[in-house]
Amino acid sequence: MADLFSLLSFGPDGWGDELLAGLGVTVALALVTLPVGLVLGFLLALAKDSGDRALVSASTILTTIFRGLPELLTLFIIYYGGQIALQQLFRLLFDRYIEFSSFTAGVIALSLVFASFASEVFLSAFRGIQSGQYEGSYALGLRPTSTMRLVILPQLIKLALPGLSNLWLILLKDTSLVSVIALNDLLRNTNIAVGVTKEPFFFYAVACLIYLSLSLLSSVGIGSIDRWARRGEGAR
Amino acid sequence: MSVGDVAADDRAYVSEQLIAAQPPPPEARRWSKARIAGLILLGIWTAVAAGLVLFFIREWNPSLLQRYGPRLLHGLLVTIELVGIAVIVGAALACLVGAARLSRNKFIGTFAYAYVYFFRGTPLLAQTFLVYYGAGQFRDSFEAAGLWWFFRDAFNCAALTFTLNTAAYQAEIFQGAIRGVQRGQWEGARALGLSRTVIFFKVIAPQALITALRPLGNEIIFMIKGSAIASVITVYDLMGETRLAFSRSFDFQVYLWAAGLYLILVETLRRFWDAFEARLTRHLKRAEQTPKGKRVVDTQMGA
């Protein structure tokens, strides 16, 4: 047993530093994807809520596709297909060769999936805000952008937080898929460690525990965001 | 000429010359920012669709379809089999875990919570690796126990992992739905002198299942999508066959075929599930909520 744990030490013999580097990539991927997915999801929700037929159907097509496709397939399509399309485009326009990294492909694919689900969360949160809130702020003479920023968004965060935190936990787990397109995230570095040490059960269990502690840490963070979002409700 | 005749003339004039009362004309469709953005985005989608059609016309490869088409369909069957086994066996397991979650026994409750927390908190891919490669490490003990035939096959390992995974999610759905049934239902049934078993199966479960229906449908869809992960441990499901075809032909269109098949599968299930839910909850719909009924009420109010 002591032998097993010595495998986790930092340094040339142990795999601790490799796993930590992988964890860094995993966290970075999730943290880069989150804002992109949130903004895109918010815009998609606005589009679906706009009532304009063309805009609604254009955004519904996007979300239907990325909600229905397996995340792994989305990743492959973006990674291989995006590569092909981008190369064709750059050869045509700039006569240059370009390649995008598996990290970029991961961010694009994961944020498209995240945004598609987040748009549904935002949409139902929008439905939870009474129209009196809009009318009241127009009556106060606020511009639509100010209405959104000062009146609607603070209430929206409160309503959307449970759904969004669920999506964040899903996103954390989905980052593991990029290990299949050769990005050195936590799971891929674990795979490498397993290949060398022939201790699959131990290393995958360690990886699972690391993912678990990530989601535990997230729940703590989400709890404090929730308290911040509800700060106007007074003590209970 | 009597007074009555004039009134009749007037009536004739009113009915013949004046335009009958009509609803107001539809609001003029302005060129708002939303409309312009929508048309541009729809234009992009049209371009993407046209590009796909063009791509398929130019790159259409009958021999590829002949060679890999049947294999992809077979892969689709494997996917359906995998998801079917996982969801059905998982549902049975989920009933046990859900019951344990609701149990008053602290030890059982904590154990069930730990199970659910582990399977919901870790990636399905890592779980699959843990079971498949982890089992290989304990080959000798499994052989001694006579279980090696099961763990040798990647399909079985994937099915086992997916079952355990979906059981955790379904257990949460079930226990949440059962907790969601109001206390009064228990108390009322108790007051009628029903036994606990009868209360559970005849009063609580039917109401809980209605709440559970929608998340359950979502869970099945998640499982279909998640089942693509099995391809990583060499299961030849739809994704596995697709990756094999791509690695041999380097023709990107196989991924698009697979995307189409997955979308059809998921959309079919979603629509079926919506119809299923509508059918099961038809006693909860009220007749006067239909638009037609609403109008009748409105006119009565006006009069």
DSSP output for A25-43: HHHHHHHHHHHHHHHHHHH
Confidence bin at B78 (pLDDT 50/70/90): very high
* A220 touching chain B per CB within 8 A: no
Q: Please give the biggest Cα pair distance in chain A.
A: 71
pLDDT at A6 over 90: no
- The residue in chain A having the minimum alpha-carbon distance to the alpha carbon of residue B250 is A80
Does B36 reach chain A within 8 Å, measured CB to CB? no
Q: What is the largest CA-CA distance in chain B?
A: 118
In whole angstroms, what is the distance from residue B24 CA to residue B10 CA? 26
**Option in B38, B229, B262 nearest A58 (CB):** B38
CA distance B191 to chain A (A): 35
User: Which range has the worst mean pLDDT, A21-35, A173-187, B57-71, B93-107?
Assistant: B57-71
How far is Cα B290 from Cα A40, in angstroms, rounded to an integer? 35
**Chain A residues near residue B259 by CB distance under 8 angstroms:** 69, 73, 77
Q: What is the CB-side half-sphere exposure of residue B174 using CA atoms within 13 A?
A: 22
Q: What is the DSSP-derived secondary structure letter of residue A150? A: I
Query: Distance between alpha carbon A161 and the CA centroid of its chain, in Å?
Result: 14
Lowest-pLDDT range of B25-39, B210-224, B237-251: B25-39
Q: What separation in angstroms does the CA of A228 have from each of A31, A159, A234?
A: 20, 13, 11
Query: Tell me, what's the pLDDT at B287?
Result: 59
- CATH numbers and ranges of domains, chain A: 2-230 (1.10.3720.10)
Using CA atoms, how far apart are residues A149 and A144, in angstroms rounded to an integer?
9
Residue ranges of domains in chain B, CATH in brackets = 71-282 (1.10.3720.10)
DSSP chain B: --HHHHHHHHHHHHHHHSPPP-PPPPPP----HHHHHHHHHHHHHHHHHHHHHHHHHHH--HHHHHHHHHHHHHHHHHHHHHHHHHHHHHHHHHHHHHHHHH-S-HHHHHHHHHHHHHHHHS-HHHHHHHHHHHHHHTHHHHHHHT-HHHHHSHHHHHHHHHHHHHHHHHHHHHHHHHHHS-HHHHHHHHHTT--HHHIIIIIIHHHHHHHHHHHHHHHHHHHHHHGGGGGGGT--SHHHHHHHHHHHH--THHHHHHHHHHHHHHHHHHHHHHHHHHHHTGGGS-GGGSHHHHHHHHHHHH-
Chain A, 21-80: which have a CB under 8 Å from a chain B CB? Answer: 47, 50-59, 61, 64-65, 67-73, 76-77, 80
Contact assignment for B122 to A187 by CB distance below 8 Å: no
How high is the pLDDT of residue A110?
Answer: 94
Backbone angles phi, psi at A85, to 5 degrees: -60, -45
Q: Which residues contact A34 (CB under 8 A, 6 or more apart)?
A: A114, A168, A171
Report residue A175 as tokens: 């980052």
Averaged pLDDT, A28-48: 94
- What is the pLDDT at residue B299? 40
Tokens of A55: 């805009």
Which residues of chain B from 157 to 186 reach within 8 Å of chain A, CB to CB? none
Q: Would you give the DSSP letter of residue A1?
A: -
Write out the H or E segment, with its range, that includes residue A155.
helix A153-174
Compute the count of residue pairs across chains A and B with CB atoms less than 8 Å apart. 142
Residue pair A136/A146 in contact (Cβ under 8 Å)? The answer is no
Tell me which chain B residues have a C-beta less than 8 angstroms from the C-beta of A70. Answer: 224-228, 239, 262
Checking if the pLDDT of B297 tops 50, the result is no
Residue to test with chain A: of B56, B58, B122, most A Cβ within 10 A:
B122
Residue A132 or residue A83, greater confidence = A132
Q: Is the CB of B129 inside 8 Å of chain A's CB atoms?
A: yes
ipTM: 0.88
Residue A101 DSSP SS3: coil
> Nearest Cβ partner of A173 from B44, B123, B267?
B123
| Mean pLDDT value across chain B | 86
Q: What is the pLDDT of residues A51-86, one digit of tens each?
A: 888 889 999 999 999 999 999 999 999 998 888 888
In whole angstroms, give the CA distance from residue B17 to residue B255.
Answer: 67
- The answer to whether the CB of B91 falls within 8 A of the CB of B173 is no
Task: Give the amino acid at A144.
Answer: P
| SS3 assignment for B14-38 | HHHHCCCCCCCCCCCCCCCHHHHHH
Residue A54 CB: number of other CB atoms within 10 A? 20
Q: Chain B neighbours among A 184-203 (CB < 8 Å)? A: 187, 190-191, 194, 198-201
Of the CA atoms within 13 Å of residue B260, those in its CB half-sphere come to 10
How far off is chain B from A75, nearest CA to CA, in Å?
11
Tokens of B7: 């009134």
Confidence of residue A14 (pLDDT cuts 50, 70, 90): confident
Share of chain A above pLDDT 90, in %: 51
Average pLDDT over residues B205-217: 90
Region B179-204 average pLDDT: 92
Q: Tell me, what's the pLDDT at A236?
A: 54
pLDDT at B300: 41
Position A85 scores a pLDDT of: 81
Interchain contact, A68 vs B263, CB within 8 Å: yes
At residue A196, the pLDDT reads: 87
Q: Is B31 left (phi over 0), alpha (psi -120 to 50) or beta?
A: beta
* Cβ count near A101 (within 10 Å): 12
**In terms of CA atoms, which chain B residue is nearest residue A51?**
B34
